[in-house]
Structure 1
């Protein structure tokens, strides 16, 4: 792109609706083609894609412009919205501020459900049951014991429990301690047979159910039967999803790092701009 052309999306701190027209030209063309399809699936990771990464996952908040964009996209005919996250699905629904009916895939694909309403008219997860075998439950319990012992040696480290996995978090550790803890986990409990090990940004997840975000995209595609899929992710675990995208799909990497995605934006603010641009294009169809 020459200097006379639109330089792309401005950085953080700029009001998203004001720069929705600044989506990079090559990505804008892909969004035009996506918006013209009769039926589309918009599948998104949460942390680092819709919400900036923070030290305490409970403090994560979705970018306001993304809330608006997803609500309006979901209301349009032929648009299906899904979240595919490493988070436990119930906590994801409590934070995400997405429309009722949004399909939810948590724990990197191990949990399935959708957003419903409680008797108090608050969003809640309507979940599909996840049952572990006795062997899987025992493996998860032993993995939790070992990882908890390791995390206790490093200030700032903690272990999260999910229905089918345990996750060692090191974002609040010093870089040296984070590296040492990760090495210890990979050399110790991660070597147990039957575990699927996934490294992410300052996390190592040890799962007893072998599911990936690629599996989740494939299953959502089969369920929804869209003509095209948009998937956006920021972490190495999202590469499984990018790998199963088809030529008519749009894969967007949020942030830095090597990726199989065809397009890239810098941060959740820019991703919100992309969603608003898709909304604009879809409303014109």
Structure 2
């Protein structure tokens, strides 16, 4: 990537990245999956990691304190779709940290009853709301996501459904997590910021770099900001797109989608 420090949008981010380079072995590298390690596609089931992602994570893992993927997807699915099963030292936190995959072992709690209630009611709710053609449901096991990317006017469709799905989620004791043409109904009490702070403490990291692409990653950005305020070097990377600008506005460094993320990780692994 050339001199990556010249590409930083913030002085604090550039300083933190320089500190990470000096102390790579103490750094926790945390990454979202969709939009960061895998390109966004119309059908979430068809998402696959960048062809070089697994190899670069395998090179980077022994050089850093920890490599962690924090995703709204089921942890096992992220491992499968990423081709990450052979990446030694990798931790995958799925469902915003409710699930954990590590060294081939998946730990997952039972989903709350509200998820089953929403699973049963959601198709009828969408039908009654006259959801536009192209709207579809993704069943994540511990959460249900409604995607409008395939609709003729995806943003209009999303706004049309927002309050309806919010009411359904509230009745079932769930919360709504907005994203790139998606509204996810999931259990409360966990987000990527909580998951990130927990794994940073567990791994006793001395620095952190987080890369995200969507609104759900703002909580992780908040966590990086808080850790930086406490004196820990921290870098917020945005896997850039034209669909979500809120993250880019908060980022220290914006890269060109998964290609840019992989190049950044390769740059770190090269020393």
TM-superposed CA distance for 1:209, in Å, is 4.2
In terms of Rg, which structure is larger? 1
TM-superposed CA distance for 1:109, in Å, is 2.0
C-alpha contact 2:58 2:88 (8 A) present in aligned 1: no
C-alpha contact 1:93 1:115 (8 A) present in aligned 2: no
SS of structure 2 residue aligned to 1:242 = helix
User: Which 4+ runs in 1 deviate beyond 6 A?
Assistant: none
C-alpha contact 2:165 2:176 (8 A) present in aligned 1: no
TM-superposed CA distance for 1:73, in Å, is 0.4
TM-superposed CA distance for 1:272, in Å, is 1.3
Q: How many residues align?
A: 247
The CA distance in 2 between the partners of 1:207 and 1:241, in whole Å, is: 17
Equivalent positions of 1:3-82 (< 5 A) are 20-21=1-2, 23=4, 25-27=6-8, 30-37=16-23, 38-76=25-63, 78-82=64-68
Q: RMSD of the alignment, in Å?
A: 2.1
The CA distance in 2 between the partners of 1:147 and 1:235, in whole Å, is: 24
Residue 243 of structure 1 pairs with residue 222 of structure 2: yes
- Where does the alignment leave 5 or more consecutive residues of structure 2 unmatched? 9-13
The CA distance in 1 between the partners of 2:16 and 2:53, in whole Å, is: 19
TM-superposed CA distance for 1:131, in Å, is 2.8
SS of structure 2 residue aligned to 1:63 = coil
**1:188-234, Cα deviation, whole Å (9 max, x unpaired):** 31332622221111111111242100111011112111110111000
Equivalent positions of 1:85-104 (< 5 A) are 85-98=71-84, 99-104=87-92
SS of structure 2 residue aligned to 1:198 = strand
- Where does the alignment leave 5 or more consecutive residues of structure 1 unmatched? 1-19, 117-125
The CA distance in 1 between the partners of 2:34 and 2:266, in whole Å, is: 19
Q: Which residue of 1 aligns with 2:202?
A: 223
Q: Which residue of 1 aligns with 2:256?
A: 266
TM-superposed CA distance for 1:183, in Å, is 4.2
Deviates more, 1:163-172 or 1:216-225: 163-172
Equivalent positions of 1:111-122 (< 5 A) are 111-116=99-104
Q: Which residue of 2 aligns with 1:107?
A: 95
SS of structure 2 residue aligned to 1:104 = strand
Q: Which structure dedicates a bigger proportion of its chain to helix?
A: 2
TM-score by length of 2: 0.83
Q: Which residue of 2 aligns with 1:214?
A: 193
Equivalent positions of 1:113-262 (< 5 A) are 113-116=101-104, 126-132=105-111, 136-137=112-113, 139-152=114-127, 153-175=131-153, 176-186=156-166, 188-192=167-171, 194-245=173-224, 246-247=227-228, 248-255=233-240, 256-259=244-247, 260-262=250-252
The CA distance in 2 between the partners of 1:129 and 1:52, in whole Å, is: 26
